[in-house]
Amino acid sequence: MTKILDILTKPNVDIDSSQVSPGTKISIENALGPEDWKPWTGFEYSTLSGIFNWDLSKDCHGSAEQVPLLKDNDTLEDVLDRFEIPIVNCCLGSQTGTAHLVRKNSGESANCKPDWSTVSRSHLDAHSCFKNILPGYTKLNNTLRSNIKEGSKREWQSAIVTIMTYMAYHGSRYGFIITDGCLVALRITRKPTGPEISNESIRHSTAAPSSYPIELSPRGDNPPDYEDNDPLQWEYMRPEYVIIPWGASGPGQLTIKLALWFLAMMSTNGDRHIDYSYPSLDSWRWDRNGFVHNTSGARKYQLFPGDMFQDRDPEKMARHERQAQDAQNRQQLQLEWEAPGHTGPRIVYDFQSEGRYAGCSGVRRPKEERLSRASGSSKTGERVGKSAARTILTCLGAALQAMAFS
């Protein structure tokens, strides 16, 4: 009997792409647009094969492979659906959660339907329908024309925007882009921003609300009806990526089928919700029933030497401390400037809001300017740069002129 690891590290099917026609760009509503992306550290053969060593050592039946003819995006999906994905699904069938990769899940919204869905009976919505716990996007290699790490980023921008939007819509930190040249595994991370900033960002109305941890501002000034549970409304860090070449095969290699199997197992049994920070892939956390592996969902009652202990959001405490310190600094550095010879109006300068003047709307200081406290100044209490001073005088003049005409 053949082991799962041996099956998943066999060479991919050879593809004849000589008849591929030029591709077309996909248009997606309410798309998210990252400007850059960064390598995903930790998603590698040695780490993941160690995490799933027991599962990979199980027996599995293989599948006969042929040489398909590739013509366009649809035929590429046909190839994957016939030759590659069934092997991955065969190896997933005997695992916890019984994840299954399917093509264009018919139960999903037409506004945001990925090319690939990963479903499991352990992940159902309120209507007992399958959730898409790992969305995927198909793209012809010749339409990209450059490596994701080299050349023009514009070639990959559309593909990453599309898959990121799918991932946010389905509330999954994991996703993938698959071409006839490579697989790109992705992970997205939420950017820490206060609710007052989030309210100013672009809002999207197509996402179905889901329950996610809400991180409130330390200032305590959140609107009573403020809800922060729509991932399409969040801001994100640069997405992390790993590239697996189509030709990767053999023992000790992270192949496309093996990477898809890892992603499906991680999404089914480990944490998949989008968070502000993530623990190391090979790490453990504590819950009421013992220790839980953050990536595989495995459980045990005690840790052993070499085991790493990390919470789900390891940077949470440090982030809250920074936010509390920022709130304290905001109160300390708020200056009130009053025109000489009268009692008002007052012009309030808020350092933390990038130069907004409460008493003189529309006046902003340049980002590169900063007001700094100067101990020992008895007249104004602060020393400012020439440009910042001119801006303040302009604002004072406007306020005095407004009083004169009132």
- Structure confidence by residue, pLDDT tens digits, 84-93: 888 899 899 8
Final residue of a structural domain among 210, 243, 278:
278
Task: State which residues form the domain around 354.
Answer: 333-405
Among 108-112, 159-163, 394-398, the range with the most confident prediction by mean pLDDT is 159-163
Q: What is the model's pLDDT at position 301?
A: 92
Q: Is the pLDDT of residue 121 over 50?
A: yes
Continuous segment of H or E residues that includes residue 388: helix 386-405
Q: What is the model's pLDDT at position 262?
A: 96
Q: 254 or 356: whose pLDDT is higher?
A: 254
**What phi and psi values does residue 279 have, to the nearest 5 degrees?**
-75, 170
Final residue of a structural domain among 278, 295, 314:
278
Q: What is the model's pLDDT at position 39?
A: 86
**What phi and psi values does residue 137 have, to the nearest 5 degrees?**
-135, 130
Q: What is the model's pLDDT at position 322?
A: 86
Q: Is the pLDDT of residue 217 over 50?
A: no
Q: How confident is the prediction for the chain on average, in pLDDT?
A: 74
pLDDT band at 3 (very low <50, low <70, confident <90, very high): confident
In the chain, how many domains are there?
A: 2
Distance in angstroms (rounded) separating the CA atoms of residues 319 and 370: 24
Residue 245, C-beta contacts closer than 8 angstroms, at least 6 positions apart: 181, 182
In a domain, 59, yes or no: yes
Q: Is the pLDDT of residue 326 over 60?
A: yes
pLDDT band at 324 (very low <50, low <70, confident <90, very high): confident
Looking at the structure, tell me whether residues 186 and 40 fall in a common domain: yes
Q: What is the model's pLDDT at position 286?
A: 93
In 170-315, where does DSSP find H-type helix? Answer: 195-198, 256-269
In a domain, 300, yes or no: no
Kindly report, residue by residue over 142-157, the tens digit of the pLDDT. Answer: 777 666 665 556 778 8
Looking at the structure, tell me whether residues 258 and 392 fall in a common domain: no
The three-class DSSP label of residue 243 is strand
HSE of 248 in the Cβ direction (CA atoms, 13 Å)? 19
In a domain, 222, yes or no: yes
Q: 25 or 33: whose pLDDT is higher?
A: 33
pTM of the predicted model as reported, rounded to 2 decimal places = 0.62
Looking at the structure, tell me whether residues 247 and 384 fall in a common domain: no
Q: What is the model's pLDDT at position 273?
A: 95
Distance linking the first and last C-alpha atoms of the chain: 91
Amino acid at 42: G
In a domain, 94, yes or no: yes
Q: Please report the DSSP string for 333-383 in residue order.
A: T-EEEE-TTS---EEEEEGGGTSEESSSTT----TT---EE-TT--SSSEE
Looking at the structure, tell me whether residues 39 and 177 fall in a common domain: yes
Looking at the structure, tell me whether residues 217 and 366 fall in a common domain: no
